[in-house]
Amino acid sequence: MTTSTLPLAPKDFASDQEVRWCPGCGDYAILKALQKTLADLEARPESTVFVSGIGCSSRFPYYMSTYGFHTIHGRAPAIATGLKLANPDLDVWVITGDGDGFSIGGNHLLHVLRRNVDLQIVLFNNEIYGLTKGQVSPTSRVGTKSPTSPRGSVAHPLNPVAVALGAGARFVGRAIDIDQKRLIGVLTAAQQHRGASFVEIFQNCVVYNDNVFADFTDRATATDTQLHVEHGKPMRYGADGNRGLRIKPGTLQLESIVVGADGITDDDVLVHDQTDKTLAGLLGALKPPEFPEVLGVLYDNPAESYESQIVPKETADQHTPLNDLIRAGRTWSVT
């Protein structure tokens, strides 16, 4: 494709390269969702760039018809930052994984969020190293058996939402790879957020960590194990829609409640406020089975982005007389 006549269809965002993920990998679903997101947003391929590090997820740019840069392990946020400093008008997506983003590249992820560079950072979390054949990752649950932890891992996983919020992220969203409609909703909100946005996608690795998220992705029980938040709406879930969250009286903790039981009414259900960072932190920490997995836009509270404060709006005057500048200060003449 050499021209980009709008409107473009999702397939127009696919490159001519053969996709080489394992059959059944969750990455396929994410690829489709992002292609549709860009089509829906009427994005321009020439102004869109995907930057990735190393790992299964990081092959992503090759499969998009946009500009793409498959870089080195963990460094995509730093490269994307430089790209935005060169040209703030580009729409830049960083594609990373739990190993790439939180292990080898953890430092860069913290700082790109803290600086609030206007990027979408999409982290494919499969809780395992896939490309290197199945070692534990920083998000692997305690007890994960792998070639490097044959007796089960002992280190505690980090919580991506907690880390992102702690680093100062001003947009945090969460979605499931195969839940295309809601995934597109979160990706769209992330793209429209000015500043750094962080999206964690629960991505199933069929080879090395199959069904690790089944406790909340299993369709049979999903209504009881997933809570999809929307700004300004009560946080309700459950097969009958009668379950919800509230602040446990006398504490700073959330509790799961059933409307109609023990005198609990609709008014007791907490309403989601996506600008409330404390709430986002509480929601991000909830895990099944005691709680639902909270999905959607947990936090969205924009502030001025880094590059908009650093890069002048106008390109520099190429005619500023350098001769005058090198002569500023003390000079003397020899005759």
317 is a contact residue toward other proteins (CB under 8 A): yes
Q: Provide the minimum distance between the beta carbon of 115 and other proteins in the complex, in angstroms, as a whole number.
A: 9
Stretch that binds other proteins, among 47-55, 123-131, 145-153, 241-249 (CB under 8 A): 47-55
Which residue is it, tokens 């896939």?
130
271 is a contact residue toward other proteins (CB under 8 A): no
Nearer to other proteins, 265 or 333 (CB): 333
Q: Provide the minimum distance between the beta carbon of 181 and other proteins in the complex, in angstroms, as a whole number.
A: 27
Count the residues of the shown chain that bind other proteins, applying the rule CB under 8 A: 61
Going edge to edge, which strands form the sheet with 254-258? 236-237, 243-247, 254-258
Q: Comparing C-alpha atoms, which of 11, 45, 86, 57 is closest to residue 307? A: 86
CA atoms within 13 A on the CB side of 185: 16
80 is a contact residue toward other proteins (CB under 8 A): yes
Stretch that binds other proteins, among 125-133, 260-268, 284-292, 312-320 (CB under 8 A): 312-320
State CA 97 to chain mean position distance: 10
Question: What sign has the CA pseudo-torsion 109, 204, 180, 29?
Answer: positive
309 is a contact residue toward other proteins (CB under 8 A): no
322 is a contact residue toward other proteins (CB under 8 A): yes
Nearer to other proteins, 78 or 199 (CB): 78
Nearer to other proteins, 261 or 326 (CB): 326
9 is a contact residue toward other proteins (CB under 8 A): no
Question: What sign has the CA pseudo-torsion 112, 113, 117, 122?
Answer: positive
d(CA 10, CA 36): 5
79 is a contact residue toward other proteins (CB under 8 A): yes
d(CA 276, CA 287): 20
* Residues numbered 56-75 forming contacts with other proteins, rule: CB under 8 A: 61-62, 64-72, 75
* CB contact at 8 A, 299 and 165: yes
Q: Provide the minimum distance between the beta carbon of 60 and other proteins in the complex, in angstroms, as a whole number.
A: 10
Stretch that binds other proteins, among 144-152, 240-248, 281-289, 320-328 (CB under 8 A): 320-328
Q: Provide the minimum distance between the beta carbon of 11 and other proteins in the complex, in angstroms, as a whole number.
A: 15
* CB contact at 8 A, 23 and 16: no
Which residue is it, tokens 């005759």?
335
Nearer to other proteins, 105 or 157 (CB): 105
* CB contact at 8 A, 120 and 175: no
- Judged by CB under 8 A, which of 22, 41, 90, 222 binds other proteins? 90
d(CA 287, CA 202): 13
Nearer to other proteins, 112 or 295 (CB): 112
DSSP state at residue 72:
S
d(CA 225, CA 47): 39
- Judged by CB under 8 A, which of 35, 37, 57, 81 binds other proteins? 81
- Judged by CB under 8 A, which of 32, 37, 39, 108 binds other proteins? 108
Neighbours of 1 (CB within 10 A): 12
Q: Comparing C-alpha atoms, which of 231, 165, 235, 169 is closest to residue 196? A: 169
Stretch that binds other proteins, among 191-199, 201-209, 280-288, 309-317 (CB under 8 A): 309-317
| Residue count (the chain) | 335
**Binding residues for other proteins, per CB under 8 A?**
1-4, 15, 17, 45-47, 49, 51, 61-62, 64-72, 75, 77-87, 89-90, 107-108, 110-111, 310-312, 315-318, 320-323, 325-327, 329-335
